């Protein structure tokens, strides 16, 4: 990386930025899931570790969350955009040099942010835990250069129209900056009480709904047609997906605070709009699955399609849960329980992660011009991720239902802890499987770069993936 920081723009190979972001994202995925496995072990076996204060759950949980969101998810998104955006515009990335600097400063900023969280320097607000200087660094040093590269690449495209994926990339980066700056108003202006709580959850809801899930969907809009050779089933439905996300997902987010003294009309409005997210959800899932017509054999034989379609299928329970758990009838039962933890992981470790993994697998092979080192290791990674995630999601969903019932029937807290203990063990086992699978993934991609078979000119990785 260092040799490209002060190189001329024309001397930096195309795809360099995407490769640096991709490798960084895998490394941060290992770190994030490793921390998650450690935290889950603390919940499953509370007497397991009593060492350093900095390694206790209260410190480690925030570090795990932000390592996964800002490290794995956001950097995998950056890698995908830095490759897919110019590919769809039949052009080069606007500035590889800016991208390389962006990747370096992104990693430095993330290390600093996590170090401060680890030492207990935090705003104390979930998902927006960083103190205000770090918030400014994230917004203007990490996100704005990334956004500028994406926007200018689209502006300089050599195609007539803008494909659905690039609509999402450009729109979501703009909305993310707005959400980040507005959502951290309590930090800038020292808002307290109900105002602080409301803005905190407005931020948390919209960073998921206007960045993570729509960008993951945009990636699948590229991967599925590219590998199957089928055109997208409907561009109109793709545009319906985009605009209905903007209208229905940017909710007031008051459903996170149903028991608070927020105005009743605001909570009702949030619930109604929450259910209406099924409009973009159904449009998206139908569009992708119909694009697979006649090519379903690739779901078995192609690793990128396997990851992508699994993520799309996980979007079905994700959006069904997301829509209906915002209603008063369900929210009062599952609020504050492990059900919510399971749902969050269904979005981040399920739908989003499977889509991003497919993009990183595909993009690195294309940019390196090398065939995947081991299809067997890739399939092993897939199953470790799928089984590990399924164990996590199922165990935490059941634990959440137990907690909800205990809340209603006023069961003593210690009895609830005992009842959910087996599910905490399964949670730890599932998370550890994901962590181990990611280590295998990093090895496979490093070996792909070093020893993968060179892809002949004019061929694509998918065309020679299973040739001997």
200-245 pLDDT, tens digit per residue, is 999 999 999 999 999 999 999 999 999 999 999 999 999 999 999 9
In CATH, what number is assigned to the domain containing residue 111?
A: 1.20.210.10
* Token duo for residue 152: 């200018």
For residue 337, what pLDDT is reported? 95
96-153 pLDDT, tens digit per residue, is 999 999 999 999 999 999 999 999 999 989 899 999 999 999 999 999 999 999 999 9
3-state secondary structure of 406: helix
pLDDT-derived band at 46, boundaries 50, 70, 90: confident
Give the number of domains in the chain: 1
Q: Give the span between the Cα atoms of 4 and 25, in whole angstroms.
A: 19
Q: Contact at 8 Å (CB) between 76 and 145?
A: no
Measured CA to CA in angstroms, residue 392 lies from 65, 329, 337, 398 at distances of 16, 25, 15, 10
- The angle, 0 to 180 degrees and rounded to 10, between the axes of the packed helices 74-89 and 213-228 is 50
Residue 11 CB neighbours (<10 A):
10
145-204 pLDDT, tens digit per residue, is 999 999 999 999 999 999 999 999 999 999 999 999 999 999 888 889 999 999 999 999
CB proximity list for 364: less than 8 A, separation 6 or greater: 19, 22, 445, 448, 449
pLDDT-derived band at 55, boundaries 50, 70, 90: confident
158: in domain: yes
**Which of 34-48, 93-107, 288-302, 382-396 comes out lowest in average pLDDT?**
34-48
pLDDT of 467 higher than 70: no
pLDDT of 466 higher than 70: no
- The angle, 0 to 180 degrees and rounded to 10, between the axes of the packed helices 164-183 and 193-207 is 160
The mean of the pLDDT values for the chain is 94
365: in domain: yes
Longest distance between any two alpha carbons in the chain, whole Å: 68
336-381 pLDDT, tens digit per residue, is 999 999 999 999 999 999 999 999 999 999 999 999 999 999 999 9
Burial degree of 208 (CB within 10 A; 0-12, 13-18, 19+): buried
Q: Contact at 8 Å (CB) between 184 and 194?
A: no
Which has the higher per-residue pLDDT, 230 or 49? 230
pLDDT of 259 higher than 90: no
27: in domain: yes
* Token duo for residue 373: 């080192």
Q: Give the span between the Cα atoms of 340 and 224, in whole angstroms.
A: 30
For residue 318, what pLDDT is reported? 96
Q: Give the span between the Cα atoms of 56 and 118, in whole angstroms.
A: 10
307-316 pLDDT, tens digit per residue, is 999 999 999 9
Measured CA to CA in angstroms, residue 302 lies from 227, 296, 376, 378 at distances of 9, 10, 11, 10
pLDDT of 468 higher than 60: no
What does R_g of the chain's alpha carbons equal in angstroms?
A: 22
- Phi, psi (deg, nearest 5) at residue 370: -135, 140
pLDDT of 463 higher than 80: no
Sole residue written with tokens 């110019």: 86
- Judged by phi (left if over 0) then psi (alpha if -120 to 50, else beta), residue 260 lies in beta
Residue 398's domain comprises 16-450
399-427 pLDDT, tens digit per residue, is 999 999 999 999 999 999 999 999 999 99
84: in domain: yes
């Amino acid at each position: 990386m260092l040799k490209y920081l002060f190189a001329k723009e024309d001397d930096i190979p195309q795809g360099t930025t995407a490769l640096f972001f991709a490798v960084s994202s895998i490394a941060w995925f290992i770190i994030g899931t490793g921390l998650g496995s450690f935290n889950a072990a603390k919940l499953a076996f509370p007497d397991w570790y009593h060492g350093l204060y900095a390694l206790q759950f209260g410190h480690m949980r925030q570090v795990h969350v932000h390592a996964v969101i800002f490290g794995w998810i956001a950097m995998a998104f950056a890698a995908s955009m830095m490759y897919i955006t110019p590919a769809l515009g039949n052009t080069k990335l606007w500035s590889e040099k800016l991208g390389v600097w962006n990747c370096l400063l992104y990693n430095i900023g993330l290390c600093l942010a996590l170090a401060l969280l680890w030492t207990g320097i935090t705003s104390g607000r979930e998902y927006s835990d960083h103190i205000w200087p770090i918030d400014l660094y994230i917004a203007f040093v990490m996100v704005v250069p990334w956004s500028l590269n994406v926007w200018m690449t689209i502006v300089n495209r050599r195609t007539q129209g803008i494909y659905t994926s690039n609509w999402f990339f450009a729109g979501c980066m703009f909305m993310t900056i707005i959400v980040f700056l507005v959502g951290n108003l309590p930090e800038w202006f020292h808002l307290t009480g109900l105002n602080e709580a409301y803005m905190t959850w407005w931020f948390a809801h919209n960073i998921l709904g206007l960045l993570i899930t729509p960008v993951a969907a945009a990636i699948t809009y590229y991967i599925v047609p590219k590998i199957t050779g089928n055109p997208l089933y409907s561009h109109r439905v793709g545009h319906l997906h985009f605009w209905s996300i903007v209208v229905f997902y940017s909710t007031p987010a008051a459903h996170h605070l149903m028991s608070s003294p927020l105005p009743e009309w605001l909570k009702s409005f949030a619930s109604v709009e929450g259910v209406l997210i099924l409009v973009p959800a159904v449009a998206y899932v139908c569009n992708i699955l119909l694009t697979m017509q006649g090519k379903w054999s690739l779901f078995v034989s192609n690793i990128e399609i396997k990851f992508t379609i699994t993520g799309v299928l996980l979007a079905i329970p994700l959006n069904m849960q997301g829509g209906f758990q915002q209603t008063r009838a369900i929210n009062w039962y599952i609020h504050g329980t492990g059900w919510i933890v399971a749902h969050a992981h269904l979005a981040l470790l399920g739908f989003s992660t499977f889509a991003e993994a497919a993009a990183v697998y595909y993009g690195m092979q294309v940019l390196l011009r090398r065939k995947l080192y081991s299809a067997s290791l890739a399939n092993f990674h897939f199953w470790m991720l799928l089984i590990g995630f399924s164990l996590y999601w199922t165990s935490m969903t059941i634990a959440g239902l137990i907690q909800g019932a205990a809340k209603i029937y006023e069961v003593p807290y210690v009895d609830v802890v005992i009842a959910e203990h087996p599910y905490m063990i399964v949670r730890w086992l599932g998370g550890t499987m994901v962590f181990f699978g990611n280590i295998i993934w990093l090895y496979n991609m490093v070996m792909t770069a070093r020893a993968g078979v060179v892809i002949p000119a004019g061929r694509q990785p998918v065309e020679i993936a299973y040739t001997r």
